[in-house]
Amino acid sequence: MNTLVIVCIAAFCLLTGYTCYGRWLAKKWGIDPKAKTPAVALEDGQDYVPADGWTVFAHQFSSIAGAGPVTGAIQAAAFGWLPVLLWVILGGIFFGAVTDFGALYASVKNEGKSMGLLIEKYIGKTGRKIFLLFCWLFTLIVIAAFADMVAGTFNAYTVKDGAAVLSDAAKVNGAAGSISLLFIVFAMVFGVMQKKLKLTGWKKTAAGLVCTFAALAVGMNLPLTAGKDTWAYLTFAYIFLAAVLPMWMLMQPRDFMTTFMFAGMIAGAAVGLVVAHPAMNLPAFTGFHNEKLGDMFPILFVTVACGAVSGFHSLVSSGTSSKTVSNEKDMLKVGYGAMVLESLLAVIALCVAGAAAAADGTAAAGTPFQIFSAGVAGFLEMFGIPMYVAQCFMTMCVSALALTSLDSVARIGRMSFQELFSVDDMAHAETWRKVLCNKYFSTVVTLAAGYVLTQIGYANIWPLFGSANQLLSALVLITLCVFLKVTGRENRTLLAPLAIMLCVTFTALVQRSIGLVQAFQAGSAVFLVEGLQLIIAVLLMVLGVIIVYTSGKELVQKKADGTNAPSNKKNKGFDKTAQSF
């Protein structure tokens, strides 16, 4: 089948989902453009920073469009491209976008509170503590997986005959690393310019483009040759800054600039598919079992995570984006729109991998990132762009996919750790509690734990990440069901996705745990690899069961409070039930 046809079908379905289903949900739940959002009412220059709709969209998309849509779609293509395509489209429209939009909506209606604090409000303090612990453990997995991925991407060395030597891609990898470092510098310059000069509209866009091209141009001409360990240290130094600096100084401007690169990457891939319209060489369906991955249920649904549904997205929606939305009318675009665009990216990645496969259906060699990067770089060269420039650009883009998720998850991990030990009256709290809730201390603890997990390696962490990520989405969905029921809003459309995701994730975690136990029985397990995975997997399952039981009981027992239904015209801004915070 032609890849162009596949992309067009997917784009039409996703756009229709946004236009019809997304707007229907917004109408059912209620959007008030005149309401004062948390970003405006609680502006503090640190986390609550109002921004225009496209800036928030850029932050949301840059943060959620991590390694998942590329890696997951290409890995899962082992079952055939058709199951992946169907899950990305259906999952994106009815699962992922609904979860992201719902988390953003609930948070904005509750003073920009995170999912943990929403659980405390609607489910109870015990549920909050358990959920925050779950979230913190999950952020450690994401930090470890993506940091290891980034460091490996920029690594200039390879092992040959037992010795480290420069690889063939040393110059390209080094240039991409230099660009990444310069991006941080130029992002901070752009952030200060935007705040001091109050740049808006075309002036803001022009300044962002200048800073983006400057980082690209300088970085390509000054490649930084370094090993994986050095890049790991630099990566953790960057995400430390992203976790503690004000949103306007680093994360918002960097996400805005990165969006230009992502737009170029997606446009290059899309136009390349239009012009070359290569055939989809991967088989449509290979069977319900794969020797390497396992059974299609549940593996397909946890492997294709971010491209279809992701619990991590909800942490971004309620952790950072909800604190920057300046008008409720932007919530649909930010929450639902960013997700369907990510689903389209997953489809494009699938088609690029299909075009790179051999005519007999044999998949291209290399990691999913390498396959996608090489494929799009080939398209860009077809348009007259020098191969070195195309390779540097694409290497930077695929690493930026992980970096933009890393900075968000580091901040969310820090906030989850703080919320885990915080109390209402922190001014009179115990000294030990104040220390644990200090943003610098909590960031160091979070990143240190994440660094320890990097020793497991990206390939070993990814299966656990997928299962934990999807379980998190199920926990968010059940929380949203309670919130919507209590506030008199529509929640029936969330029940089917909730039930399906619970079945998928617990099955995947049980299978993963059994596999790890068998590895120990066979004597092939190592504690720092299989041992840590097993401990985390069991913890996640136990915490998940407790949260599901507690939340499910509240879902059945809670009664709707009509005073907060969207039909109540007197309700402006936050829900009245949120005023108790």
If you search the block for the tokens 């779609």, which residue do you land on? 73
Structural contact between residues 37 and 50, judged by C-beta atoms closer than 8 angstroms: yes
Per-residue confidence (pLDDT) for residue 571, from 0 to 100: 41
pLDDT at 493: 93
**397 close to 391: Cβ distance less than 8 angstroms:** no
Measured at the CA of 331, the angle between CA 48 and CA 407, to 5 degrees, comes to: 50
Beta carbons of 191 and 255 less than 8 angstroms apart: no
Q: Which residue has the tokens 């906030």?
A: 415
Q: What pLDDT, on the 0 to 100 scale, is given for residue 575?
A: 53
**Which residue from 331, 326, 329, 256 is spatially nearest to 103, judged by alpha carbons?**
331
Helix/strand/coil for 353: helix
Return the structure tokens found at 307.
């491209």
pLDDT at position 466: 82
Q: How many CA atoms lie within 13 A of 292 on its CB side?
A: 8
pTM (predicted TM-score): 0.87
- Per residue in 176-209, pLDDT (tens digit) is 999 999 999 999 999 999 989 988 888 999 999 9
**How many other C-beta atoms can be found within 10 angstroms of the C-beta atom of residue 133?**
18
Whether the Cβ atoms of residue 269 and residue 398 lie closer than 8 Å to each other: no
In angstroms, how far apart are the furthest CA atoms of the chain?
Answer: 74
Alpha-carbon distance of 471 to 104, in angstroms, equals 18
Residue 152 is predicted with a pLDDT of: 87
- Per-residue buried b or exposed e for 233-267, using 16+ beta carbons within 10 Å of the residue's own CB: ebbbebbbbbbbbebbbbbbbbbbbbbbbbebbbe
What is the structure's pLDDT at 1? 82
At residue 565, the pLDDT reads: 54
Q: What is the DSSP letter of 363?
A: P
Give the pLDDT score at 427: 85
| H-only helix segments in 198-250 | 201-221, 228-244
CB atoms within 10 A of CB 548: 18
Q: Which residues of the chain have pLDDT under 70?
A: 458, 561-581
Cα separation, 22 vs 45, whole angstroms = 31
- At 101, list the tokens: 């939009």
CA proximity to 108, closest of 258, 436, 275, 332: 332
Handedness of CA 146, 86, 370, 525 (dihedral sign): positive
Nearest to 404, CA basis, from 473, 271, 312, 336 = 312
